[in-house]
Chain A
Amino acid sequence: MPTLQLFVTCLVDTFYPETGQAIVSILRRLGVTVEFPPGQTCCGQPAYNAGLRNEARPVAEHTIQVFEAAPGDVIVPSGSCAVMLKHGYPELFAADPRWLPRARALAARTYEFSEYLVDVLGVTDLGARWPGTLTYHASCHPNRHLGVDRQPRALLAAVRDAVIVDLPASEECCGFGGVFSVEHPELSAEMLQRKISNLQISASPTLVVTEAGCRMHIAGGLSKQKKPQRVVHIAEVLNSR
């Protein structure tokens, strides 16, 4: 079994360390050697998405260097951060012959977590058990920018005792969008409200995501409205038994 590098991402690191723990547990149980390069920070996405490329570049260079020194594939538990590494870095260094090959090399070995389980390791049944109802939010970055949708759904379908219900308009954006949610809070709020309403229609108490940004955003909305539903990362579901 391979050795791989966990890029835990700043949001998971700071706000959802239990997601990182669940990922390590799952991968180790599968016999994978998980490493965590301690120099890692943020992928640079906040500045990049805002258009601040000069500010994003040093962060990207730092991340490239950190993972260059480490062997194996790079696993990211948040779709948009994976997109940043896979598509953002090559765009960021498009005109930089020194960094572009290094950015591409990292992009080629970067995977979103559920994508890695299903497409690389070929696993869908992790022996997980979740006595209750679950519904899945198809976050934009994994779904549209990476084409990762059937993988998390297949993983959830294999969870014992879980009743998976449809989330209406599952693929609709929750309105996070990084700097968008701050620069356009009114628009973001409307989109979030539709997501929360659809979650209520689904009648599921638990919403599963593969994207830390959506989790923070939707959970923040639910908390503000004092709603009982909670948002979990798919790794936490897959690690439960």
Chain B
Amino acid sequence: MDIFHQKIRQSIADEALQKALDGNAERRVKSRINAFASLPNWRARRQQAHAIRADVIEHLDEYLEQFIQRAQQNGIIVHRASNAAEAVQRVFEIAENPKNPRKSATGLLFAKAKSMISEEIELNHALEAAGQRVVETDLGEYIVQLRHEKPAHIITPAVHLRRAQVGQLFHEKLGIPYTEDIPTLVNTARKVLREVFLNADVGISGVNFGVAETGTLTLVTNEGNGRMCTTLPPVHIALMGMERLVPTLDDLALFLSLLPRSATGQKLSVYTQLIHAPENGQQKHLIIVDNGRSKLRNSPLKEALYCIRCGACLNACPVFRELGGHSYLGADGALAPYPGPIGSVISPGLLGENFVQLAQASSLCGACKEACPVDIDLPKMLLRIRAGKLEADSGPGGLGLPGVVKLALSAYSRIAAHPRLFSVSQKLAGWFSRPLPLFIPVPALTGWGYSKDLPKPAAKPFRARWEESGKIVESGPVEWRQENQETVDTSFPASLSPSLPDRFATELTAIGGHVYPVRADELPEKLIAFLRERGLDRLEMWDEIPGLDAAQLAQSGMRVQPFPQGAAENQAGLTGALAGIADTGSLVIPGGPGRPLTASLVPAIHIAVLRASQILPSLEQAIRLPEIATAPASVLITGPSRTADIEMTLTIGAHGPAELHVFLVDDAAGK
């Protein structure tokens, strides 16, 4: 038995794994469906998203040129890498530049946010082999790194583990007493990784979307580690697959309505970063990686490049539910960088024939296509791989199948092309009243009997009965009535249209934020009372927050300390906001001089002042605010930081603030 089949048996026999995967499938699929219920026109959006991705891939060279030009104008240093080795080489060159400020005396410390392309190019392996320290900072990634494993899922890397296994791991590796309490485990990781963020020489991240018209790098995360890795180290390197572009900010808004819903069932992820330019003397590099994508783009598998890496197809796939991400092996036993349905297409598509056998591990049920937010026809792609259409339009068929199966199927096909032969073999099968190897040859030869009995051929097949057609017809026509065809009602109940501030408050509260409506004249007093009550007197703060006087805070005994001086001491960050988003309960927080992004990231509590008149209905309006395209970076904050990387158990408070308090100033008089 080959190594892939051995691994399959092993995974199926692994009870802890099966429990974890069952939980993943059941909860993730449900939460995705619930999330899409809040997007009434999602079917139209999905088709629009498909069309946009098709256009981008069709005209990729032009969009890339525009994107790179804008990014460079914004001050991002752009590199191209044609393959994995080149991409790794670029990272080394950038990181080891002697002119960079060094935080650590010996070796370099890399703080890494989650990035599938870094897995694809095996960056960690290369860095570690060169003696550098690289720390994965997404909780799931951190766990698998401690276990010396690779991620088992593109969104939830530790999906294969149960809490007891994580408890044991942290006990052994981090020296804490054994616990199965998930908040304790999360808090332990928070403490360990906080040191990494503050001391890292280089931050590495992926990119969810590049926006061609503005050169924007978009990153979507929940824990806050991504923001730490991109904001705090003196050098930030973003790695991006060359296909990950959308043309405009409007298109980005569309994709942001689909990606988090598909990935984690959220309307928006907690942090949506829109990065344009370096700030505070930081260097920002972008490495755009080809690594087989140009080849894939000119192949019959082109559509696979439409993928936005949401992982929905993995969660929907009945085969992934049995295997998890660690069983997708190539012929040589190598682990495919991308698991699940999309992985079974892009792994062979990018890396070649070693992984074609993955395409046979599908019943072609189509659950993946149905779940895909950009409607990639994954079953069709899998069929093309099986037919050998990896590159040109021809190739040997039956890829990934044993010779005997191919032989049997071609024998059956030859019979089926000749009706008389077909009829004779059928009769023979009937005479023997058991399956004739030639007729249904495959099951007879191999694995069918594993779990089921073979059907018994009828003594007289249909065609024979037809010939005696008199016997077929029963009685004459009966009365039947025609009924109206059922139509599927896709409309949503008419909204009671609560006001924008009410919607904002409802949404934010639902995801764990707190909203305090105040009158403009009572803002300072109420805010100071809140700080006092909570014992918060060390703050990081924006230079200017409308309606709030820093002197007033100082008089009340509050000490304002900027980052990094106050990094360890500051208990809360106090910010304004550019806008609020009613649909999702999000704050739009721009960066720039006097508006440090660290204030909404580093302290454990984030307090924001938002005026009711700043609340916009949806992301579509917010993304078009002029400051979005001009600020060096902005972040949409949708609730307190969170993680669900251990058993999908939602835990509030990962690396970013664990509390989010919004003082909502009623300035909308007359509304």
Contact = CB atoms under 8 A, between A and B. Distances in A.
Interface of A: 8, 10, 12-18, 20-21, 24-25, 28-31, 36, 38-42, 44, 46-56, 58-59, 61-62, 66, 87, 91, 95, 118-119, 122-127, 140-141, 144-145, 150, 154, 158, 171-173, 175-194, 216-217, 219-221, 223-224, 239, 241
Interface of B: 5, 8-9, 12, 318-319, 322-323, 359-367, 369-370, 379-380, 383, 385-388, 393, 397-402, 405-406, 409-410, 412-419, 422, 426, 429-430, 439, 442-443, 445-448, 450-458, 460-466, 472-483, 485-486, 488
B241 to A, nearest CB: 27
Contacts of A241: 478
Contact of A144 (B369, B426, B447): B369
Nearest to A194: B318
A41 B451 contact: no
Nearest to A177: B363
Contact of A192 (B319, B362, B451): B451
A29 B473 CA distance: 9
A27 to B, nearest CB: 10
Contact of B473 (A24, A50, A66, A91): A24
Contact of A95 (B362, B364, B393, B473): B393
Contacts of A126: 478, 480
A220 B364 contact: no
Dominant SS among interface residues on chain A: helix
A202 to B, nearest CB: 18
B444 to A, nearest CB: 10
B465 A180 contact: no
A144 B419 contact: no
A85 B322 CA distance: 31
B409 A47 contact: yes
A123 B363 contact: no
A33 B247 CA distance: 55
A16 B405 contact: no
Contact of A25 (B409, B443, B472): B472
Given A15-B456, A44-B413, A187-B12, 16 more contacts: A14-B426, A29-B474, A38-B466, A49-B383, A50-B397, A55-B409, A62-B417, A91-B380, A124-B483, A140-B363, A140-B367, A173-B367, A183-B361, A184-B5, A220-B448, A221-B452
A119 B485 contact: yes
A51 B405 contact: no
Contacts of A56: 413
Nearest to A140: B365
Nearest to A143: B366
A42 B426 CA distance: 12
Contacts of A183: 360-361, 401-402, 405, 446-447
Contacts of A13: 426, 461-463
B419 A38 contact: yes
A17 B430 CA distance: 12
A47 B412 contact: yes
Contacts of A53: 387, 397
B447 to A, nearest CB: 3
Q: Pick from B362, B387, B406, B429 the residue with the most CB of A within 10 Å.
A: B387
Residue in A13, A52, A188, A217 with the greatest tally of chain B CB atoms within 10 Å? A52
A50 B401 contact: yes
Contact of B454 (A171, A172, A180, A220): A220
A67 B486 CA distance: 32
B422 A123 contact: no
A-B interface, 9 closest residue pairs, ranked by CB to CB distance from nearest: A177-B363, A51-B386, A185-B447, A220-B452, A189-B451, A173-B365, A144-B366, A185-B450, A17-B462
Contact of A140 (B8, B366, B448, B475): B366
A185 B446 CA distance: 9
A10 B416 contact: yes
Contacts of B422: 10, 41-42
Contacts of B400: 51
B99 to A, nearest CB: 54
B482 to A, nearest CB: 5
Contacts of A189: 450-452
Contact of A50 (B12, B406, B474): B406
A46 B409 contact: yes
B1 to A, nearest CB: 10
Contact of B363 (A191, A216, A224): A191
Given A14-B426, A58-B413, A125-B481, A180 B360 contact: yes
A188 B451 contact: yes
A39 B358 CA distance: 37
6 contacts: A29-B478, A47-B409, A62-B419, A183-B447, A184-B5, A191-B363
Nearest to B460: A17
B363 A176 contact: yes
Nearest to A38: B463
Contacts of B474: 25, 29, 239
B418 to A, nearest CB: 8
Contacts of A175: 318, 363
A41 B417 contact: yes
Given A122-B485, A185-B446, A221-B452, A40 B419 contact: yes
A224 B453 contact: yes
Query: Which of A8, A17, A127, A145 has the most chain B CB atoms inside 10 A of its CB?
Result: A17
Contacts of A122: 482, 485
A29 B464 CA distance: 22
A51 B399 contact: yes
